[in-house]
Copies of this chain bind each other. A is one copy, B any other.
Amino acid sequence: MRRGLTALALAAWLAATPVQSAPTEMKPSPAEDAFITLGTMGGPVPSPDRSQPANALLHAGRVYLVDAGDGSVGQLARAGILLPRVRAVFLSHLHADHTGGLSAVLALRNQTNQRQPITIYGPPGTRELVAGLVAAMQPAARAGYGIPGQPWQAPAETVNVIEMRDGATLSVDGMRITAVQNSHYDFAPGSIEDRNYQSFSLRFDLPGRSIVYTGDTGPSPAVEQLARGADLLVSEMIDMGGTLAVVDRNSPDMPAEARRQLEQHLSTHHLTPGAVGQLAARAGVGALVITHFAAGTPDPDRTARYLADIRTHFAGRVTLANDLDRF
């Protein structure tokens, strides 16, 4: 009975719906470049008041996701960005809090018949990640809208993957992108783990502006070098005191050695406020944006402490990002 439903009719329906629901005042001007912090809470434990790590880079009217944690699709909608505008995704590393929303990005593109391929750039392992997500999309792709004879497109045809290596430079739509391996992972240089599991910081050189995104990292000379002279540094940060206070409250019997090791892990794989300030100062960046909070949204006291620690080293403009902030 519904055999005759045309792709035109479906496409019109799918394309039409968001026009009514997207708040037009939030729609970015196509010509304006921007970096939007879609999700500003570090994982892997989800937060009730901030989304997991995801960002949108806007350049020349196109949109690029920079990390894609749980809820990226919803956060894009809240930023007034239609999903089909997303041309590519850059993954800093493959921890689930930075990739958990990629499945929905790819599968919803497929369900809305987006035929323009999307490209996923990421560290080694990205090909395996995306291959799994594409395989997961097969049953829904074949079922389509449940209309007999409806044509369907193989999900793999709409997704490309480019794995980056340390020092990679790419040219994408008029941007130059540089990836360097940072210190979020602790594998011995040259080991097989070090070759297979890498965490990147990313630099986006747009025609009029340079933006560096640390992803997750500890202190790292390579990241300092990458960030040199950038107009904007978007940096992760860990609240050691806040996180350890919670640990102490919940695990008062933790052996001293285990606690020392945990502290070492957090402080060498992540950046304290002081370390962020040092990074920004040494790199001589124009402005600093903090994201990837740990231990909940900071209250005014903690905010003041963060800023004081950062400003001990860095005299430029500092912003603690909220979800959907635009820089």
Question: Residues of A with Cβ closer than 8 Å to B?
Answer: 1-2, 4-6, 8-10, 12-23, 26, 43-49, 51-52, 69-74, 76-78, 80, 83, 93-97, 99-104, 107-108, 110-112, 124-126, 128-140, 142-143, 145-148, 184-188, 191, 193, 196-197, 199, 242-243, 246-247, 249-251, 254-255, 257-259, 261-262, 264-266, 268-269, 294-297
The reply to whether B134 and A139 form a contact with Cβ atoms under 8 Å apart is no
Q: Cβ of A193: which chain B residues have Cβ within 8 Å of it?
A: 143, 148
Residue of B nearest to A264 (CB): B2
Residue of B nearest to A140 (CB): B94
Q: Of B2, B71, B95, B145, which contacts A140 at CB under 8 A? A: B95
Q: Could you name 6 residue pairs across A and B whose Cβ atoms are closer than 8 Å?
A: A16-B247, A17-B294, A97-B108, A132-B132, A145-B265, A146-B185
Add 11 more A-B contacts to A1-B268, A70-B74, A96-B137 (CB < 8 A). A1-B264, A13-B266, A15-B250, A17-B296, A21-B45, A46-B77, A52-B74, A95-B140, A101-B104, A125-B138, A145-B185
Stoichiometry, as copies per complex, reads: 2
Sorted from nearest, which 10 A-B pairs have the closest CB atoms? A132-B136, A146-B185, A100-B104, A125-B139, A103-B103, A96-B107, A132-B135, A71-B71, A143-B197, A70-B104
Bound complex: CA A15 to CA B51 (Å): 19
Q: Cβ of A295: which chain B residues have Cβ within 8 Å of it?
A: 17, 20-21
Known contacts A111-B96, A135-B131, A197-B142, A17 near B45 by CB under 8 Å: yes
Q: Cβ of A197: which chain B residues have Cβ within 8 Å of it?
A: 139, 142-143, 146
The reply to whether A74 and B45 form a contact with Cβ atoms under 8 Å apart is no
Residue of B nearest to A242 (CB): B20
Q: Cβ of A8: which chain B residues have Cβ within 8 Å of it?
A: 254-255, 258
Known contacts A140-B94, A142-B196, A148-B187, A9 near B265 by CB under 8 Å: yes
Bound complex: CA A185 to CA B107 (Å): 18
